[in-house]
Structure 1
Amino acid sequence: MKTLLLAASLAAVLTGCGEPVAQCGVYAIGPSQIKQLLQENKADPAPGRLEKSQLPADFPGHLLDKDGYYRGMQVYCKIDEAKAALSAQSKTDWLVYELSTDWQNGVYKADDDAFHLKATTPIKQAVQ
């Protein structure tokens, strides 16, 4: 019984990225121009999950989940994971950004098996 409880407790604190929640930051990738906007206090926050009615009429349908919501910006637990996403997507003029939320409260696993922001969140800083 103790083993079962210990296993359940451990599963509860681990995220899909394999790290304990306490060791996860929340990182996203975006155009390098955001860094300058942050310095000027003009950067828009990173978008979270939104109803289709809150999106422009020409919003790309492939970015919507099965319920018709925009999933929110995709996020990563570790800086290295975000850097790997930059590389995999061949984004040459993009950077990694730290967001002002925590993994446990600000992130969810969406129907695309990736992690996304639950709510619109300020961008804290560029990390590269």
Structure 2
Amino acid sequence: MTQNVLFHIILMALGIVVLLGAGFVGKTDKGGKKLSTHKALAGIGVILVLAGAIGLVVTRALIPTLPHFYIAVVAIVFMLLTLIGGLLYVKAVPAKKAALRKSHRFDAMIFFGLAGLAAIFGIITLLAMRR
């Protein structure tokens, strides 16, 4: 179980760092010149986070009674909402783009907040399990 949890931690940490990079690229991009870089980084980050979550389910190392689990599920939902909002933004008519961009950014902020909270609860859980 220790290897599964370590693999989970590595994938999640890498995914969050890549998603933070995608957010930085998206925030500093003026005029959509780096949109393909933003989308590629976001896609890689989402895949890493989902792989980290699915890895625990497949290896049966998941403990769905912990607060970390519930916070992480809500964070993943907001991550997917952010992804969907970004994809809709690219395809939207110009009149709808401002609202979609605001929603996309707000969902991303909620995701990062929840991901940080989930990481804190994960660390607390890990420390409690080691005792």
Higher relative contact order (CA 8 A, sep 6+): 1
Same fold (TM over 0.5): no
Q: Which has the higher helix share?
A: 2
Q: Normalising by the residue count of structure 2, what TM-score does the alignment of the two structures yield?
A: 0.26
